[in-house]
Structure 1
Amino acid sequence: MGLLSPRQTGLGSYGCPLPDRIENAGGGPFVGNLSFYQFNMIVSGACTAIVLFLTLGLMGRHAMRMSNPKEQIKIMRIVNMIPSYQVLSFISICVPNSYIYLQGVTEVFQAIALYAFLMLLCDFLAPTDQGKVEFFSSLETKRQWQPKKKRNGLVFLSLTWWSVLQYPIITWIAAVAQVVTQLLHRYCLGSTAPHFAHVWITAATSLSTSVAINAIIQFYTNMKGYMKEHHPLTKLLAFKLIVGLVILEKILFLILEGVNVLHRNEILTYVDVMMGLPEMIICVQMVPLCFLVLYAYRTKPYEISNAPRTVALRPQEYQAVESDGDKDTLMSGFQKRYQGGWMGLNAWAAYLNPLGLLLDVISAHRMISKARALQKAQM
């Protein structure tokens, strides 16, 4: 009923309960003469326009007011998770057959944002690699499962870094595997049978997500006292609400489908229930969450009064200082200049360059490896 197009009346390949090509047709009037599918596209489209306007505006302001590239490029990668979620969800609503192919991509954007968030917290603690080595070398942290025992700070940093880094790697592999298995008719979104890839890919990404988020929470718990002036709790809350709500809703919909509370009827098609409604909720809830992100990652701490927006001749090292109320300030030993270039084009180029993220990962790996090797040599 509404799930299959007129030309597709059978099941999918290899016994999958979903057809190989999913289309949303049928369904009775939901509001006036509009079906739920049409109503969903209108509401989700309006929410998508609002979210894109707000988030791209915030990213654009960071690009044009880029006084601290190391931190602000990471902030742009974090904020990018919202418009990415929004656009991919809206496309999945409009073109249901794309849903399976795009779900893995949303996880990749989420994983990149989580890694950028960890690196941003590290920059808050110490802006340079040498500073990070010195800071974590002198630090001892509690073990998660054995609070009475201590762990060296560099070991803690290395463990956290690897725990978070595996997330974008696993999700990227899972996204590719999801597309390939779907093309081979071996994914099957509507089945948890072990001979289909859906259950295994879901289990792998769920485990990877749990490990990464747990590592971030442990890192924040141990480090929050060293970066109060950066308001890390607000930034963590903005990030966690987005990820947490999406995960919670996925679990809730699985339960509701399992107990047959959600099912197709005269108004809702199977596609509406399984894909349209969950994606619509994501699109709508991103609007209020945008405002929390706008506040948590605002540009005010990076703004420089009366500074020409030109490219600096050499990198600047900024150090955060205690703020009085909302008067966040930054100080530097060099002349302060915005480094995003005309209209922030240089900043956008650096943000969009995939090699930039890869080089950041390589640099962090070298820094941690050298620090641990030096520490072992001294011991």
Structure 2
Amino acid sequence: MGILGPREAAAGSHGCELPDDFRQMDVGPFVGNLTFYHFNMIVSGICTAIVLVLIFGLMARHALRMSNPQEQLKIMRIINLIPAYQILSYASICFPNAYVYLQGFTEVFQGIALYSFLMLMCDFMAPTDQGKVEFFSSLEIKEQWRPKRTRNGLKFLKVVWWSVLQYTLIAWGAAITQVATQAVHVYCLSSMAPHFSHIWISVATSLSTGVAVNAIVQFYVNMKGYMAEHRPLLKLLAFKLIVGVIFLEKIIFMILSGTGVLKRVKSLTYIDIAMGLPTMVICVQMVPLALFVCYTYRTQPYEISNNAPRTLRPREYQALGDDADEALMSGFTKRYQGGWLGLHAWAVYLSPLTLFIDVREAYVMIHKARAAQKAHFKEQVPVQMDTPMERYDSPEGA
């Protein structure tokens, strides 16, 4: 980024090779009369503007055409991952001193998107809590590492749910820890030494990400047949491309920097290589990814047609009796629920309390269902054990 103060004036603390403060310095031009820092700001700024128009435009269409809040609010949280990455990356380019403080929070938005994706897939199969309990209770799922053994679908859901939620929680903790340790100069982005927190935060988030992504993949593999009409593979691919490509690029840049392939030249400073180039790549690649996401999560399935007097599956809009899961309803009118200009939808989406309530309700649902399932199983055990005793005593009674 064309930014790095003289070493003697900005030496790092506690042995970190990065300076504590990045300052403007004169370097050779990168394109024309522009340094790489200014060239990066222009290119990344244009890409950021394109991405924000595309994604916020898509979110606005969902807010205006919110016929199914339960699913569409989750979609808004999922696709918010792209502008979150874009804004934080561009801010890091413009203000390099903020890079370490901001980058940890990309993991937070990624965790929220991953959790929302899991719950969206659950909604595709059963939109109500009672429906989810009944659906998953009826399934037997093969265990990942022991395919000859199976476990009940409700237990499978509980394991997957916790595996994904833990990533969101660890991401929050890691982001806060990263900010705190950077503030006291014991983070050190450029070092993997054990006395700096960088390596420990990286290991924790990498392991946590691996557990969460594996859980999502296993969930999709076992459940894809129940939600084929929702094209879950495209939605999963759109999400995994964002996460996977960025993760792969981090590894590639780490290898290139470690092997000396990327090194300081006249027009590139150390900070350009360590921060500027990777963030510019992220900003540029988000443009095609945003186009793909706009296609995958488009509003067409939720748009209300005035030409259809009868509708199948009104369960998203009106509770049905216990004796029917689906029904054809004549004279039933669906309506958009986003409010004037979609403001109500935006207010619900932006409220952190809404996300907290969703997580709490999912926990209560799974916990109560598993407790009831275990109680039912315990009630069945004595009956099965009494049967041989009755057979043994019967001849003696005769």
- What's the TM-score, normalizing by structure 2? 0.88
Change in Cα spacing, 1:151 to 1:262, as seen in structure 2 (3 Å) is: same
Change in Cα spacing, 1:332 to 1:203, as seen in structure 2 (3 Å) is: farther
Q: Which residue number in structure 1 is paired with residue 189 of structure 2?
A: 189
The question of whether the paired residues in 2 share the 8 Å contact of 1:45 and 1:90 is answered with: yes
SS in 2 for 1:31: coil
* One-letter amino acid of the structure 1 residue matched with residue 87 of structure 2: V
Q: Distance in 1 between matches of 2:155 and 2:333?
A: 37
Change in Cα spacing, 1:3 to 1:61, as seen in structure 2 (3 Å) is: closer
- CA drift at 1:180: 0.5
Q: Distance in 2 between matches of 1:87 and 1:293?
A: 17
Task: Verify: 1:316 aligned to 2:314, yes or no.
Answer: no
Q: Distance in 1 between matches of 2:318 and 2:139?
A: 23
Q: Which residue number in structure 1 is paired with residue 374 of structure 2?
A: 376
* One-letter amino acid of the structure 2 residue matched with residue 267 of structure 1: S
Report Cα offsets for 1:304-362 as digits up to 9, x if no partner.
0249xxxxxx971599xxxxxxxxxx987852000000000000000000000000000
Q: Distance in 1 between matches of 2:170 and 2:371?
A: 27
The question of whether the paired residues in 1 share the 8 Å contact of 2:127 and 2:316 is answered with: no
How big is the alpha-carbon RMSD for the aligned residues of Structure 1 and Structure 2? Answer: 2.0
Q: Distance in 2 between matches of 1:80 and 1:189?
A: 26
Unaligned runs of 5+ in 1: 308-313, 320-329
The question of whether the paired residues in 2 share the 8 Å contact of 1:90 and 1:283 is answered with: yes
Task: Verify: 1:78 aligned to 2:78, yes or no.
Answer: yes
**Greater gyration radius:** 2
SS in 1 for 2:30: strand
Task: Verify: 1:68 aligned to 2:68, yes or no.
Answer: yes
Q: Which residue number in structure 1 is paired with residue 152 of structure 2?
A: 152
Q: Which residue number in structure 2 is paired with residue 129 of structure 1?
A: 129
Change in Cα spacing, 1:332 to 1:13, as seen in structure 2 (3 Å) is: farther
* One-letter amino acid of the structure 2 residue matched with residue 264 of structure 1: R
Q: Which residue number in structure 2 is paired with residue 48 of structure 1?
A: 48
Q: Which residue number in structure 1 is paired with residue 173 of structure 2?
A: 173
The question of whether the paired residues in 1 share the 8 Å contact of 2:143 and 2:150 is answered with: yes
Q: Which residue number in structure 1 is paired with residue 214 of structure 2?
A: 214
Change in Cα spacing, 1:97 to 1:150, as seen in structure 2 (3 Å) is: same
Change in Cα spacing, 1:11 to 1:52, as seen in structure 2 (3 Å) is: same
- CA drift at 1:21: 1.4
* One-letter amino acid of the structure 2 residue matched with residue 305 of structure 1: S
Q: Which residue number in structure 1 is paired with residue 241 of structure 2?
A: 241
Q: Which residue number in structure 2 is paired with residue 324 of structure 1?
A: none
Report Cα offsets for 1:109-151 as digits up to 9, x if no partner.
0110000000000000100000000000000111111112111
Change in Cα spacing, 1:317 to 1:189, as seen in structure 2 (3 Å) is: farther
* One-letter amino acid of the structure 2 residue matched with residue 283 of structure 1: C
Change in Cα spacing, 1:369 to 1:5, as seen in structure 2 (3 Å) is: same
The question of whether the paired residues in 2 share the 8 Å contact of 1:317 and 1:332 is answered with: no
- How many residues are treated as equivalent by the alignment? 363
Change in Cα spacing, 1:38 to 1:196, as seen in structure 2 (3 Å) is: same
- What's the TM-score, normalizing by structure 1? 0.92
Q: Distance in 1 between matches of 2:91 and 2:328?
A: 44
Change in Cα spacing, 1:90 to 1:10, as seen in structure 2 (3 Å) is: closer
Q: Which residue number in structure 2 is paired with residue 338 of structure 1?
A: 336
Change in Cα spacing, 1:24 to 1:257, as seen in structure 2 (3 Å) is: farther
Q: Distance in 2 between matches of 1:300 and 1:81?
A: 21
Percent identity, please: 67
The question of whether the paired residues in 2 share the 8 Å contact of 1:81 and 1:109 is answered with: yes
SS in 2 for 1:44: helix
Q: Which residue number in structure 1 is paired with residue 381 of structure 2?
A: none
The worse-fitting range, judged by mean Cα deviation, of 40-49 and 13-22 is 13-22
Q: Which residue number in structure 2 is paired with residue 326 of structure 1?
A: none
Task: Within 5 Å, give how 1:181-330 maps onto structure 2.
Answer: 181-306=181-306, 316-317=317-318
Change in Cα spacing, 1:217 to 1:30, as seen in structure 2 (3 Å) is: same
SS in 1 for 2:365: helix
The question of whether the paired residues in 2 share the 8 Å contact of 1:136 and 1:154 is answered with: yes
Report Cα offsets for 1:217-245 as digits up to 9, x if no partner.
00000000000000000000000000000
Q: Distance in 1 between matches of 2:221 and 2:316?
A: 31
Q: Distance in 2 between matches of 1:3 and 1:291?
A: 33
SS in 2 for 1:14: coil
Q: Distance in 1 between matches of 2:358 and 2:372?
A: 21
Q: Distance in 1 between matches of 2:140 and 2:124?
A: 18
Correspondence for 1:349 among 343, 347, 350: 347
Q: Distance in 1 between matches of 2:35 and 2:247?
A: 28
SS in 2 for 1:141: strand
Unaligned runs of 5+ in 2: 308-314, 321-326, 378-398
SS in 1 for 2:196: coil
SS in 2 for 1:30: coil
The question of whether the paired residues in 1 share the 8 Å contact of 2:2 and 2:35 is answered with: no
Q: Distance in 2 between matches of 1:27 and 1:136?
A: 61
